Structure 1
Amino acid sequence: MPYLKFLVAAIAGSCMLVSIAKAEELPAPIQMLANQGLTIVDTFPAPGGLKGYAAEFQGQAIALYLTADGEHVIVGNLLNLEGRDIAADPLYQLVTGPAQEHAWQQMERATLLQDGDADAPRIIYTMTDPNCPYCHRFREAAEPWIAAGKVQLRHLMVGIIREESPAQAAAIMGSPDPAEALVNHINRRERGGIEAIPRFVRIGEPVIRANHRIMRELNLSSTPIVYYRDENNHVQVIRGMPQPQQFEAIFGPRP
């Protein structure tokens, strides 16, 4: 299905979604897309005689619109007079929101590196490789909020960037003070980072293996991945280094 791969990016963060195809017979155009790999999650109201379907493909929420004759389907955005995609809210409620809440819960249960005041009001989860330069930049961007006690970063440490990453990630998690070890590693990154002390690596290796399983379950393959809650308490995800204009949305007002 090359045209579907063109329409949607194979991005991550999906959870188990129940297809309505099991509960009811789908119209032929919708069933055609279901046969090609889309999960049809539910229906939602749509204007102009259309019927909206919320679907998911490789972690991407997709809006489908069945025409009134029941013989054609439109895939993509449908805008109102204000330029807003009418499917934005239904797709979040039916597809994106449950998937991102699932990811948040996965990370809540993981063994994480606590970076910042444990009582800080704002929690941010981030997947971090010790040799990912953008992970380092994200940690440095967060420093004013961490220092002010406003933010706690919870790092899910992984080792995927370089050959030495798994051992260094394990050494960080196996050290007596993982947060200090991470900061020391970042400060020494121009000299190759911290030494992967074998006794620390042995302690940390089970944590890193478990974190890699979480990455696979969430269909993630790069770092950083940042999860935070917005002003509506909705889980949002940013893949890659956030832009400076996003910092206040992630971290809160500047201290």
Structure 2
Amino acid sequence: MKINILTNLIRVVYLIIAFPLTAFAQYPDAVQVLIDGGLKVEARFDAPGGLQGYVGRKDGRAVTLYLMTDGEHVVIGKMVDGFGQDLSAEHIRTWLPAIDLTQAWQQLANATWVAEGPKDARRIVYVFTDPNCGYCVEFRQKASAYLNRGIQLRHILVGVIQPSSLAKAASVVSADNPLEHLAFLDSQFPRNWLESPDLIPAGPRKKIEANNQLMKTLAVPATPTVFYRDKQGEVHKIVGLPDDTALSNAVFRPPNQGASQHLQNRQ
């Protein structure tokens, strides 16, 4: 009898070690169906009105949802109080963990990108670019004024806005002169918004799909999204078109003149 009890106890301990407690976490059906659809729940909390709140991410976007008191229905979106205060924004700030960008720089370097600017640049800036993104076109136009400062801009091509985006992005990375082809697509925007190139080989298509996945990994919800390093080497992210002050003082700040080439390329 004692041997059987001990054996069963060992089995329970093994299950706990092999399958973390989070694996046994159960969500109400209304929440679980969203998880099955790609939502990653990061935290659960008590929300106003006796509701159960959840924060998470879906395709890189922060999501708030609130389980009704019946436990069977979920409301997704913004909660406001009687003064018009956005409570959901506060819930995101309080409960949603910040994305750890410690490894982001190497992940960006390993992605498929198109470089614009000097090859011996002393500073690197990355931007997620969709060929059907008007703000990406505007960002590239504004960035051109800074590229003669020893700064290189690397476009990580993605296809997320329109069905034609993936094929266009793949056509850029597979072109003989990718930067020239990107400039051509920019010049045609938005007239060619829905036009799609001919069938793209599997290789370039997989590269763009990998870039799309990197967007989700780094919680990038939109294009353009810019990644740059500050003077201390810390990685920062700006979602959307940065304003002129951010461009000149942060994103495209002049490189450190005395840095060695190794350190400069890390920027």
CA distance in 2, matches of 1:121, 1:168: 30
The runs of 4+ residues in structure 1 deviating greater than 6 Å are: 4-9
- CA deviation digits over 1:37-87, x for unaligned, max 9? xxxxxxxxxxxxxxxxxx995442xxxxxxxxxxxxxxxxxxxxxxxxxxx
Q: Which amino acid aligns with 2:116?
A: D
Give the number of equivalent residue pairs.
176
Q: Is the Cα contact below 8 Å between 1:125 and 1:156 reproduced in 2?
A: yes
1:57 to 1:104, Cα distance in 2 relative to 1, 3 A: farther
User: 1:42 corresponds to which residue?
Assistant: none
SS at match of 2:184: helix
CA distance in 2, matches of 1:199, 1:213: 21
CA distance in 2, matches of 1:128, 1:116: 16
Q: Is the Cα contact below 8 Å between 2:132 and 2:165 reproduced in 1?
A: yes
Larger radius of gyration: 2
1:182 to 1:193, Cα distance in 2 relative to 1, 3 A: farther
CA distance in 1, matches of 2:174, 2:218: 24
Percent of aligned pairs with the same amino acid: 33
User: 1:110 corresponds to which residue?
Assistant: 111
Root-mean-square deviation over aligned CA pairs: 3.3
Alignment of 1:1-255 (within 5 A): 1=45, 3=47, 58-60=96-98, 99-146=100-147, 148=148, 150-192=150-192, 196-198=196-198, 202-248=202-248, 249-253=250-254
CA distance in 2, matches of 1:194, 1:172: 16
CA distance in 1, matches of 2:159, 2:170: 8
C-alpha displacement of 1:144: 1.1
CA distance in 2, matches of 1:9, 1:253: 37
Structure 1 residues not aligned, in runs of 5+? 14-54, 61-95
C-alpha displacement of 1:203: 4.5
Q: Is the Cα contact below 8 Å between 1:172 and 1:200 reproduced in 2?
A: no
C-alpha displacement of 1:7: 11
Structure 2 residues not aligned, in runs of 5+? 1-44, 62-92, 256-267
C-alpha displacement of 1:200: 5.0
CA distance in 2, matches of 1:243, 1:56: 26
Normalised by the length of structure 1, the TM-score is 0.60
CA distance in 2, matches of 1:138, 1:158: 15
